[in-house]
């Protein structure tokens, strides 16, 4: 950890298959957190895997820490991890008071059984959701402990009579302090189990993450603390459980989750409670910073046993989120009266949906993994994973947006170009990965990046933190294999393509016309207008967006006349409609209505208001990046938020790239400006197809 400056308590790992785990001891919430490191070997050959729970969490600010005791020495951990350890030691402290005698021991076998028991208790929906003073039901906890320990022993093949003897409780009502000190459980937590001050060890351990999580007894996801008064989270948990209980009987009849009539079944749930409050709670959960963290992809996808989610003391089985919430999202949107809130719930579930898709892809890959997988297969698998993860998941260390996926590509031997190396600069790692992927896949979809915070590398090398490859690209685009070539020094990219046009003018919209955001859900409430000042303010902002759209068209006409001498009575309707709607009928209707003279209130509804707000967001973007006009009057915007389009830039349909690209000529060479963010232009380029070879040019990008 960056903030740790003392002598590290971590002793070197003597075995290449070795890892560290920690013992977490029970206590009260305000007690000092006590942890101890221990070395063990991951499963391999005749070696039996250790029993531990792997923690998946976000570090948070590594400079803002609290001290815990690690091997008897003060050791800093981030506030989020400190909160988890305190919650867990509190639960363990309560549970330890109700353990059978046989588990009150420091023997490794007893620690393994306690760890399995904790994992089962956390997955039990009847286990308490609160451990504050006065809220603990000791009888319930004792009954659950006995029930699950009995099941553990039965699963281990223990004789029935012996089982009952083993679950015998202590004669005293509570074990003493010295006995409770022995009742530790075993965790693997990256910031504690990896020596963060040793880059070489970090590189080696990162390469083993897949094995660490796949061999864990279970994975526990920590989403952070929630106040006991956070009713939204409670509403979300009730809604998710209600959804599960409604759907589960139908699955018992052999139906898959995806085959259920979600809209009809959700209607039943809606009648039994306040779905609106539950949706807000689900949004509260899905927008947790954990869902944006790159490492969670591997941690969740490779987990083979139970996975549970912890919010403070509240718990949700991971299965509920992936197999209930995610498939139900579209149905929730369809039956929700609040169209905008429905859109945002769908948007908030995007990372969850990506996690589910990546997990499925990993298990498909796992069927054909091994030593014989070649570089082409590896690069295609990695590209496919990046297509779903880039621009969606983030990492404290930029290199981890790439390294975090290596455990999922199904290769026992990682190509040397991809092996994690935390001593190599970020720009070098991104450059090297790009060369490997482009060379082995002939795909240039990585050119679709919206920002670049790297210097001293070629313009075509993406900043992998900000790449956004289309997960639903068309068949034509997928089949458009490039003839790209990277020079031996890795500095020049030679591509083939044809020009779609040259930029003859760039205009910027006025920011004031786009000062309303989709997140302002009260604007789009299905409740009737009550004539409040707030309603009047929102109506005024909607009017400003309409006025901004009309003003934008007038400025396009004026710009053309000034720069090209082209005089138009009106901007071409077909191009204007295609630019804003891109085959979306609702968007087309909305943009057409903005041309009408009638008052806004005569045609606006909640759905059209939502589209207007989306148009306002685009106007806000144009105020920074500009809207470019090509010599054929097509409209173009760049995906880049940090580099503007300039007059004289050319738009090229490059073979192997999913989006048309903007290039800037400098003598015989070109620099890469950015991919086009204009869906209509991509559609048009695909309709044109690749033209006769006489019109295809070769471009050298520096």
Helix, strand, coil shares, percent, the chain, to 5: 45, 15, 40
In Å, what is the CA distance from 58 to each residue of 4, 81, 288, 385, 396? Answer: 18, 8, 10, 21, 9
Based on the fold, state whether residues 340 and 370 are members of the same structural domain.
no
Based on the fold, state whether residues 513 and 606 are members of the same structural domain.
yes
- Determine, yes or no, domain membership for 301: no
- Determine, yes or no, domain membership for 5: no
In this structure, the strands spanning 650-654 and 661-666 are antiparallel
Domain end call among 490, 513, 542: 490
Based on the fold, state whether residues 596 and 669 are members of the same structural domain.
yes
Query: What is the DSSP secondary-structure string of 50-78?
Result: PP-EEEE-----TTSEEEEEETTEEEEEE
**Do the Cβ atoms of 191 and 164 come closer than 8 Å?**
no
Based on the fold, state whether residues 450 and 597 are members of the same structural domain.
no
Residue 671's nearest CA partner among 646, 696, 689, 641 is 646
SS3 215: coil
Quote the crossing angle between the two packed helices 326-335 and 262-272, to the nearest 10°. 70
Based on the fold, state whether residues 592 and 460 are members of the same structural domain.
no
pLDDT for position 342: 58
Based on the fold, state whether residues 517 and 662 are members of the same structural domain.
yes
* DSSP classification of residue 647: T
The number of distinct structural domains making up the chain is: 4
- Determine, yes or no, domain membership for 520: yes
User: Whole-angstrom Cα distance, residue 572 to residue 575?
Assistant: 6
Low-confidence ranges of the chain (pLDDT < 70): 1-6, 44-48, 168-181, 227-231, 250-260, 262-264, 266-276, 329-346, 369-372, 470-481, 510-536, 538, 597-606, 679-694
CA 88 from chain centre, in angstroms, equals 25
pLDDT for position 603: 61
Based on the fold, state whether residues 348 and 364 are members of the same structural domain.
no
Based on the fold, state whether residues 107 and 253 are members of the same structural domain.
no
- Determine, yes or no, domain membership for 539: yes
User: Whole-angstrom Cα distance, residue 482 to residue 656?
Assistant: 4
pLDDT for position 373: 81
- Determine, yes or no, domain membership for 3: no
* DSSP classification of residue 360: H
- Length of the chain as a residue count: 702
- Residues 416-454 as b or e (16 or more Cβ within 10 Å = b): eebebbbeeebbebbbbbbbbbbbbbbbbbbbbbbbbeb
**Do the Cβ atoms of 289 and 221 come closer than 8 Å?**
no
Domain end call among 330, 353, 376: 353
Burial of 527 (0-12, 13-18, 19+ CB in 10 A): exposed
Q: In 429-515, where do the E strands start and end?
A: 485-486, 493-507
Range of the domain at 684: 499-701
Please state the three-class secondary structure of 127-173 as a single string: CCCCCCCCCCCHHHHHHHHHHHHHHHHHHCCCCHHHHHHHCCCCCCC
Based on the fold, state whether residues 37 and 86 are members of the same structural domain.
yes
> Residue holding tokens 């148009």?
615
pLDDT for position 252: 59
User: Whole-angstrom Cα distance, residue 242 to residue 349?
Assistant: 19
Based on the fold, state whether residues 203 and 258 are members of the same structural domain.
no
Query: What is the DSSP secondary-structure string of 512-562?
Result: GGG---TT-GGGG-SSPP---HHHHHHHHHHHHHHHHHHHHHHHHHHHHHH
- Determine, yes or no, domain membership for 166: yes
Based on the fold, state whether residues 410 and 503 are members of the same structural domain.
no
pTM: 0.82
Residue 295's nearest CA partner among 202, 363, 426, 428 is 202
pLDDT for position 479: 42
pLDDT for position 491: 96
In Å, what is the CA distance from 502 to each residue of 429, 630, 663? Answer: 34, 5, 10
User: Whole-angstrom Cα distance, residue 446 to residue 434?
Assistant: 8
User: Whole-angstrom Cα distance, residue 466 to residue 452?
Assistant: 7
Domain end call among 490, 511, 534: 490
**Do the Cβ atoms of 40 and 19 come closer than 8 Å?**
yes
What token pair was written down for 635? 């409209």
Based on the fold, state whether residues 346 and 365 are members of the same structural domain.
no
């Amino acid at each position: 950890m960056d903030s740790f400056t003392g002598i590290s308590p971590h002793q070197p790992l003597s075995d290449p298959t070795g890892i560290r785990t920690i013992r977490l001891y029970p206590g009260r919430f305000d007690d000092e957190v006590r942890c101890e490191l221990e070395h063990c070997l991951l499963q391999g050959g005749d070696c039996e895997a250790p029993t531990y729970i792997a923690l998946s969490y976000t570090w948070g600010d590594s400079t803002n820490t609290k001290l815990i005791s690690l091997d008897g020495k003060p050791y800093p951990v981030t506030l989020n991890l400190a909160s988890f350890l305190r919650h867990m030691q509190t639960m363990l402290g309560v549970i330890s008071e109700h353990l059978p005698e046989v588990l009150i021991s420091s023997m490794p076998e007893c620690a393994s059984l306690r760890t399995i028991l904790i994992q089962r208790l956390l997955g039990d929906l009847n286990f308490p959701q609160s451990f504050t003073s006065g809220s603990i039901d000791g009888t319930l906890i004792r009954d659950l402990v006995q029930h699950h320990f009995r099941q553990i022993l039965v699963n281990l093949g223990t004789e029935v009579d012996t089982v009952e003897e083993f679950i015998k409780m202590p004669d005293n009502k509570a074990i003493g302090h010295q006995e409770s000190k022995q009742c530790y459980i075993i965790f693997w937590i990256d910031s504690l189990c990896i020596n963060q001050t040793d880059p070489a060890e970090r590189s080696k351990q990162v390469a083993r993450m897949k094995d660490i999580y796949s061999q864990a007894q279970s994975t526990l996801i920590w989403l952070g603390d929630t106040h006991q008064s956070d009713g939204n989270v409670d509403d979300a948990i009730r809604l998710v459980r209600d959804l599960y209980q409604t759907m589960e009987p139908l699955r018992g009849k052999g139906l898959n989750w995806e085959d259920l009539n979600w809209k009809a079944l959700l209607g039943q749930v809606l009648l039994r409670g306040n779905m609106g409050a539950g949706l807000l709670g689900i949004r509260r959960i899905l927008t947790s910073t954990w869902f944006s963290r790159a490492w969670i992809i591997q941690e969740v996808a490779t987990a083979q046993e139970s996975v549970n989610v912890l919010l403070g003391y509240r718990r949700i089985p991971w299965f509920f989120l992936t197999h209930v919430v995610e498939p139900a999202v579209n149905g929730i949107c369809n039956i929700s009266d609040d169209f905008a809130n429905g859109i945002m719930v769908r948007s908030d579930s995007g990372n969850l949906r990506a996690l589910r898709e990546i997990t499925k892809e990993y298990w498909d890959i796992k069927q054909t993994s091994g030593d014989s997988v070649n570089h082409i297969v590896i690069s295609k698998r990695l590209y496919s994973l990046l297509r779903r993860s880039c621009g969606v998941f983030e990492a404290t260390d930029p290199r981890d947006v790439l390294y975090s996926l290596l455990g999922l590509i199904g290769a026992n031997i990682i190509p040397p170009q991809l092996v994690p190396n935390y001593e190599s600069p970020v720009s070098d790692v991104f450059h090297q990965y790009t060369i490997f992927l482009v060379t082995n896949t002939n795909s240039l979809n990585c050119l679709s990046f919206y920002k670049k915070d790297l210097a001293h590398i070629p313009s075509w090398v993406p900043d992998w933190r900000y790449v956004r490859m289309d997960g639903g690209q068309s068949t034509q685009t997928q089949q458009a294999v490039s003839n790209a070539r990277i020079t031996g020094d890795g500095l020049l990219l030679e591509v083939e393509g044809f020009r779609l046009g040259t930029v003859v003018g760039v205009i910027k919209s006025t920011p004031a016309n786009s000062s309303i955001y989709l997140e302002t859900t009260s604007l789009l409430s299905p409740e009737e207008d009550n004539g409040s000042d707030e309603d009047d303010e929102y109506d005024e902002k909607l009017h400003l967006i309409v006025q901004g759209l009309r003003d934008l068209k007038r400025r396009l006409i004026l710009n053309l006349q000034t720069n090209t001498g082209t005089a138009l009575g009106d901007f071409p309707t077909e191009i204007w409609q295609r630019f804003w709607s891109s085959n979306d009928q609702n968007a087309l209707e909305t943009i057409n209505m903005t041309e009408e003279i009638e008052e806004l209130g005569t045609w606006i509804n909640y759905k059209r208001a939502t589209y207007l707000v989306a148009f306002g967001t685009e106007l806000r973007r144009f105020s920074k990046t500009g809207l470019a006009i090509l010599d054929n009057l097509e409209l173009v915007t760049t995906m880049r938020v940090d580099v503007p389009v300039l007059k004289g830039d050319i738009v090229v349909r490059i073979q192997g790239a999913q989006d048309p690209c903007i290039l800037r000529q400098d003598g015989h060479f070109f620099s890469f400006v950015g991919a086009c963010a204009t869906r209509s232009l991509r559609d048009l380029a695909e309709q044109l197809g690749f033209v006769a070879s006489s019109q295809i040019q070769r471009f050298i990008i520096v």
